[in-house]
Amino acid sequence: MYEDNNPKLENEILEGIIMKVNFLSYVNLDKTEKEDKNNKNTNFNVLTTDDNKIYLPAFTDLEELSKWGIPSNMDTITLNFDNYVEIILENENIEGLVINPFGDSYILSREWLKELKAMKEERLKVNEVRLEVNSKILLEEPKHYPTMMMEAIKECCDNLGNINKAWLLEMLTEKDKSWLLILDFEGDRNYIFSKISQAARNYLGNMYLDMLPYEDDFAKNAVVNHKTFYNKKI
């Protein structure tokens, strides 16, 4: 990013930080804390700048972590974006997150973390179709199937283990165009839709993904004469 500073590349890096990457950090744990798997009072090591601002450090790999030195009384812990945000926002003394502070560092301020957290929550919201009365809708087989997205959804369905069938259609309303995913499943709808949304997010491009349970009357009528693209393995 420093060699080729452009918005697209920075967005890709932020995407990785927020949605995908796990980071390394040092923590202080005494013998009792190490044995207590339910202990939540972890003592994280922080960095203080010359103007006395405190940041929580995160490292992309062991090489970057080793630049801080490896004290014998410290342990290594793996955390993701959500973990760091929770720690920082609960501690008013911490100004933000600094990634690879002893290398090509990247700082995310406290306010920026709040914004990114809100953006992530909005992005992962479950999209369920809410149709206005007398709205005009056209449903059809996709002219060009989003194969990569469908493979990601299939893999997610296999991992969940409680999806029986899935259909994918193109839905055109008076306002916009989107993918309509209809799922025949067992279990908690919000959890399942959230997991599917996470699996599909990187392949949506400019399209939205709307979801409906098969038990919905509209969904049942929508899939008549349409083939499933996923069937649970027996």
Quick check: do 7-124 and 138-231 share a fold? no
Lowest-pLDDT choice from 35-39, 140-144, 162-166: 35-39
> What pLDDT score does 45 carry?
85
Of 12 and 63, the one with more pLDDT: 63
Instruction: Specify the pLDDT at position 72.
Output: 64
Per-residue confidence (pLDDT) for residue 29, from 0 to 100: 62
The percentage of residues in the chain with a pLDDT greater than 70, rounded to a whole number, is: 86
Residue 33 confidence (pLDDT) = 46
Which residues, in sequence order, are bridge partners of residue 178? 171, 208
* pLDDT value at 232 more than 90: yes
Domain 7-124 fold is: Trna Endonuclease; Chain: A, domain 1 (3.40.1350)
- The residue among 56, 124, 52, 119 whose CA lies nearest residue 86 is 56
pLDDT value at residue 129: 54
Q: What does the pLDDT read at residue 85? A: 94
Q: What is the dihedral of CA 54, 58, 63, 64, to 10 degrees?
A: -40
What is the chain's mean pLDDT, rounded?
84
pLDDT in tens, 158-182: 999 999 999 999 988 776 788 999 9
How do the domains of the chain map onto residue ranges?
Answer: 7-124, 138-231
Q: 111 pLDDT band (50/70/90 cuts)?
A: very high
pLDDT value, residue 40: 44
14-23, pLDDT tens digit by residue? 878 887 788 9
Span of 5-19, 145-159, 199-213 with lowest mean pLDDT: 5-19
User: Distance (Å, rounded) from C-alpha 185 to C-alpha 33?
Assistant: 41
The owner of tokens 């923590």 is 27
HEC readout, the chain: CCCCCCHHHHHHHHHHHHHHCEEEEEEECCHHHHHCCCCCCCEECCEECCCCCEEEEEECCHHHHHCCCCCCCEEEEEEEHHHHHHHHHHCCCEEEEEECCCCCCEEEEHHHHHHHHHHHHHHCCCCECCCCCCCCEEEECCCCCCHHHHHHHHHHHHHHCCEEEEEEEEEEECCCEEEEEEEEECCCHHHHHHHHHHHHHHHCCCCEEEEEECCCHHHHHHCCCCCCCEECCC
Candidates 125, 27, 39, 120; CA nearest to 78 is: 27
pTM of the full predicted structure?
Answer: 0.54
Whether CATH 3.40.50 fits 138-231: no
What is the CA 3 to chain-centroid distance, rounded? 27
